[in-house]
């Protein structure tokens, strides 16, 4: 995995440029997308570029990265709802072009297999964006997640549940389990961009880039992915932009 450091004000534009180049090569490309604070500048920039006619989002397809087990799509506390609100609706990307992470507890194992099958039928992720959890997670692959894991239900750590609380209105109940694209599934994406911003991610980013790859910090598996780029702002990287 390579590291590129950019100024905070260039973070969204640099991430968006990778999506735009990918879509210019293949307008039908499947982009894997996360939720959370970090990708917001990416989504804002992509929507602004689409409005200005600089990119065509009318055929791109989206594979969601993760969600809460048991989340209802209409419910505010679901990543599906979050992605609708922050990107999909404004981009005009409907359910026919969105591969949602399954959330139905009763059938989750079979539904995760169907998600993987569908992703393969779509040709896999051409470009997958990820955020980095302070405990080293990517998606909801919490510490302990091995390199070969596939899309599955997982128990969320208390630190991840606490970090997720401020995505929603005060006192929202954060589910105890999530569903996530596995590390093995993530590593199959043809381009991966790990988005990292803010000084509070500096220590974990250093571990992820320099520590021995291990399940203790699942994002460290990306060291073994030559197609992966860590895109960090100066605060997260702890050094000036190139």
Which of 22, 35, 145, 185 lies at the binding interface for ligand F6R (CB under 6 A)?
35
By beta carbon distance, the residue nearest ligand F6R is 131
State the CB neighbour count (10 A cutoff) for residue 80.
22
Choose the binding region for ligand F6R from 31-39, 50-58, 146-154, 206-214 (rule: CB under 6 A): 31-39
- Does residue 208 touch ligand F6R according to CB under 6 A? no
Three-state SS for 166-222 is HHCCCCCCCCCEEEECCHHHHHCCCCEEEEECCHHHHHHHHHHHHCCCCCCCHHHHH
Question: Which is closer to ligand F6R, CB of 56 or CB of 200?
Answer: 200
Choose the binding region for ligand F6R from 92-100, 111-119, 131-139, 208-216 (rule: CB under 6 A): 131-139
Q: Shortest gap between Cβ of 212 and ligand F6R (angstroms)?
A: 21
- Does residue 133 touch ligand F6R according to CB under 6 A? yes
- Does residue 102 touch ligand F6R according to CB under 6 A? no
Contact call for residues 57 and 23 (beta carbons, < 8 A): yes
- Does residue 139 touch ligand F6R according to CB under 6 A? yes
Q: Which of 135, 116, 148, 136 is nearest to 32 (CA)?
A: 116
- Does residue 32 touch ligand F6R according to CB under 6 A? no
* N residues, the chain: 242
Q: Which of 183, 140, 144, 193 is nearest to 163 (CA)?
A: 140
Paired sense of beta strands 152-155 and 177-180, if any: antiparallel
Q: Shortest gap between Cβ of 209 and ligand F6R (angstroms)?
A: 16
Q: What are the catalytic residues?
A: 66, 135, 137, 142
């Amino acid at each position: 995995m390579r590291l590129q450091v950019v100024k905070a004000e260039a973070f969204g534009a640099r991430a968006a440029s990778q999506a735009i180049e990918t879509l210019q090569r293949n307008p039908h490309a499947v982009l894997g997308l996360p939720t959370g604070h970090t990708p917001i500048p990416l989504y804002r920039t992509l929507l602004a570029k689409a409005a200005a006619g600089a990119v065509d989002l009318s055929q791109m397809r989206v594979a969601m990265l993760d969600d809460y087990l048991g989340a209802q799509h209409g419910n505010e506390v679901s990543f599906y709802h979050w992605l609708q609100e922050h990107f999909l609706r404004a981009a005009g990307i409907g359910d026919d072009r969105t591969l949602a992470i399954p959330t139905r507890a009763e059938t989750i194992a079979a539904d995760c297999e169907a998600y993987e099958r569908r992703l393969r039928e779509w040709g896999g992720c051409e470009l997958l964006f990820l955020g980095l959890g302070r405990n080293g997670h990517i998606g909801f692959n919490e510490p302990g997640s091995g390199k070969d894991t596939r899309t599955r239900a997982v128990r969320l750590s208390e630190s991840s549940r606490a970090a997720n609380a401020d995505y929603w209105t005060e006192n929202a109940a954060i589910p105890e389990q999530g569903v996530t694209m596995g590390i093995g599934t993530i590593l199959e994406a043809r381009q991966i961009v790990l988005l990292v911003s803010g000084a509070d991610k500096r220590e974990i980013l250093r571990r992820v880039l320099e520590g021995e790859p291990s399940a203790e910090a699942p994002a460290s598996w990306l060291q073994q992915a030559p197609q992966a780029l860590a895109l960090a702002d100066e605060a997260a990287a702890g050094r000036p932009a190139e």
